Structure 1
Amino acid sequence: MIDRYAVFGNPIKHSKSPFIHQQFAKQTGQELSYEKLLAPVDGFEDAVTIFFEQGGKGANVTVPFKEQAFVLCNQCSASAQLAKAVNTLWLDENGNLIGDNTDGLGLVADLERQFGDIAKKSIVILGAGGAVRGCIYPLLDKKVNRIVIANRTKVKATDLASEINEPNVKGMGLDDLSADTDCDILINATSSGVEGKVPYISNEFIHAQIKAYDMFYGSEKTAFIEWVEQRGITQSADGLGMLVGQAAESFTRWRNVKPQIEPVLLQLRKQMLKQ
């Protein structure tokens, strides 16, 4: 019987996870199936329970269920505990539901692929939601110099920084970013890209030496990438590599083999350009 995997979400039609994991399986010689499963907004727990009862081996979780997945787990990784959100599920040998959040590892892998070693770099992250929470520990593990969490609602950023309780993590409002704010890498983790908008930050803060990363992605340049390029930034990347990177981490948890990201990323980018 072929091992069965799936991604749960609502909506789920747009998900690229089946394509990504099918490519990983071919690349690593693994025999498995991977499908999209539309879970009812009020029926995620039942859908996951049935999936594993019917022999499912592992699952990814996307919006709006990552927080619900965290609550369901018997055991979670440190990143998942900080994020209070899970995107990767599997059962251990005792039947316990294990949860991880691989988004941060996917981000770090793509940052280093795009921009080189990030150790000792100063990172500014725009936003303070679940996407940010899951990325803090993987960034700290890379020995970055400093992380500034900047959010429209300042208290949300300062509360998150206080929760992390590390001397090199600071929270502030978006309007606190200025020419004096040290920044090597600027990461947009806000939801503004969904509407084709950009977060409001002072032009004085932006300078040409900054490398910019947008967690949002699309077949065209994102609004954020266009905006920073107009302000002189020449090194930038969208979040498609993060998507493939976090999927590779999930695949590794399930199959105990790590696939190569680059070939799948190139195939996916090519596929998106045709659409």
Structure 2
Amino acid sequence: MPAPSAAARYAVFGQPIAHSLSPRIHAAFGARLGIAIDYRAIEAGAGEFPARLAAFARDGGRGANVTLPLKQDALALCAALSDRARRAGSVNTLIRAGESWHGDSTDGAGLLRDLRDRHGFEPRDRRVLLLGAGGAARAAAFAFADAGARELVIANRTHARAAGLAQAIGAVASATALDALEALGRFDLVVNASAAGHAGASTALPRTLLDAHTLCYDLSYGKAAQPFLDAAREAGARRVSDGLGMLVEQAAESFAAWHGERPDTEPVHAALREG
């Protein structure tokens, strides 16, 4: 795929969006690879999103990322979907194809790459607890199943939503209520995929879920991840991480879909960690 012209535009849509690191990440990728990038953050709630995405396309938009709360809304606006987006039921990457959008989900691939490369965690034959059942959680759940997790337990405030996701995944997955966590035993990985941290809230983690080797990981980053990371430490976790690495890796997957080349992520990740 040829490099885009200087006029080609890219963006991230969400609400709130001012905090997003995506423009900085894609600018850094472009600078490293010599590709001119016009990548902006566009504020849009669910009601405004279709019109703002259409206006973006008319203005030359060639690709976009989608974050909270629009990942499932984005799926409905796509004329075609990748297999992983269809299975996850959410889209975080939009690719302009003619007069329509092609939707993909790079969250799962980004999460697995960060877990493996930065945390030395291989999901195969491991026991995983996933908190949440929304768009990002669905992408993570299918990624863990595809990676060979031995058991995937999904806990969500609305049990029916967790049960629906577990049923879609198959025998490796089961659903439970948030107030039943204490009886589940130890997990190798606990992943917070809920949006509670964005409101400053977090689910309490029973100590029975963890030991010294358990990795506790929040898909969010920065302030939104802090409540869960604090709760994990309070429960005795020694290994905790936010999702900054996942953010960078899923962005690299999107970048490759748009520009035909996957950037080296480590220098960009290190720069973001340094602030």
Pair in the same fold by TM > 0.5: yes
Instruction: Quote the Cα distance in structure 2 between the aligned partners of 1:228 and 1:248.
Output: 29
Per-residue CA deviation, residues 1-31 of structure 1 (Å, 9 max, x unaligned), is: 4122111223322111110000011122212
Number of aligned residue pairs: 269
Instruction: Quote the Cα distance in structure 1 between the aligned partners of 2:19 and 2:27.
Output: 16
The one of 209, 216, 219 equivalent to 2:213 is 209
Per-residue CA deviation, residues 145-176 of structure 1 (Å, 9 max, x unaligned), is: 22111123333211221122x11111111232
The one of 114, 134, 138 equivalent to 2:139 is 134
Instruction: Quote the Cα distance in structure 1 between the aligned partners of 2:231 and 2:167.
Output: 31
The one of 219, 239, 259 equivalent to 1:235 is 239
Give the aligned residue type for 2:72. Answer: E
Per-residue CA deviation, residues 46-84 of structure 1 (Å, 9 max, x unaligned), is: 222222233221111222322221111011123322333
Partner in structure 2 of residue 200 of structure 1: 204
Instruction: Quote the Cα distance in structure 2 between the aligned partners of 1:40 and 1:147.
Output: 32
* Amino-acid identity (%): 38
Partner in structure 1 of residue 61 of structure 2: 56
Larger mean Cα displacement after TM superposition, 10-19 or 47-56:
47-56
Query: SS of 1:57's equivalent?
Result: strand
Residue pair 1:208, 1:231 contacting (<8 A) in 2 also: no
Runs of 5+ unmatched residues, structure 2: none
| 2:30 is aligned with 1:25 | yes
Instruction: Quote the Cα distance in structure 2 between the aligned partners of 1:185 and 1:213.
Output: 8
Query: SS of 2:203's equivalent?
Result: coil
Residue pair 2:203, 2:231 contacting (<8 A) in 1 also: no
Partner in structure 1 of residue 226 of structure 2: 222
Instruction: Quote the Cα distance in structure 1 between the aligned partners of 2:198 and 2:17.
Output: 16
Query: SS of 1:265's equivalent?
Result: helix
- Structure 2 length as normaliser, TM-score? 0.89
Partner in structure 1 of residue 103 of structure 2: 99
TM superposition shift of 1:221 = 7.3
Partner in structure 2 of residue 36 of structure 1: 41
Runs of 5+ unmatched residues, structure 1: none
Give the aligned residue type for 1:42. Answer: G
Larger mean Cα displacement after TM superposition, 155-164 or 40-49:
40-49
- Are residues 203 and 40 of structure 1, via their aligned partners in 2, closer, same or farther at CA, if it must alter by over 3 Å? closer
Partner in structure 1 of residue 273 of structure 2: 269
Instruction: Quote the Cα distance in structure 2 between the aligned partners of 1:217 and 1:62.
Output: 13
Larger mean Cα displacement after TM superposition, 242-251 or 46-55:
46-55
Partner in structure 2 of residue 175 of structure 1: 179
Residue pair 1:10, 1:39 contacting (<8 A) in 2 also: yes
- Are residues 185 and 50 of structure 1, via their aligned partners in 2, closer, same or farther at CA, if it must alter by over 3 Å? same
Residue pair 2:109, 2:143 contacting (<8 A) in 1 also: yes
Query: SS of 1:233's equivalent?
Result: coil
Partner in structure 2 of residue 155 of structure 1: 160
Give the aligned residue type for 1:74. Answer: A
Partner in structure 1 of residue 114 of structure 2: 110
Instruction: Quote the Cα distance in structure 2 between the aligned partners of 1:212 and 1:193.
Output: 14
The one of 192, 195, 216 equivalent to 1:191 is 195
Residue pair 1:154, 1:173 contacting (<8 A) in 2 also: yes
Residue pair 1:207, 1:231 contacting (<8 A) in 2 also: no
Give the aligned residue type for 2:26. Answer: H
Residue pair 1:211, 1:236 contacting (<8 A) in 2 also: yes
| 2:78 is aligned with 1:73 | yes
Partner in structure 2 of residue 84 of structure 1: 89
The one of 250, 256, 269 equivalent to 1:252 is 256
Instruction: Quote the Cα distance in structure 1 between the aligned partners of 2:243 and 2:84.
Output: 19
Instruction: Quote the Cα distance in structure 1 between the aligned partners of 2:119 and 2:190.
Output: 13
Residue pair 1:150, 1:174 contacting (<8 A) in 2 also: yes
Give the aligned residue type for 1:130. Answer: G
- Are residues 116 and 160 of structure 1, via their aligned partners in 2, closer, same or farther at CA, if it must alter by over 3 Å? closer
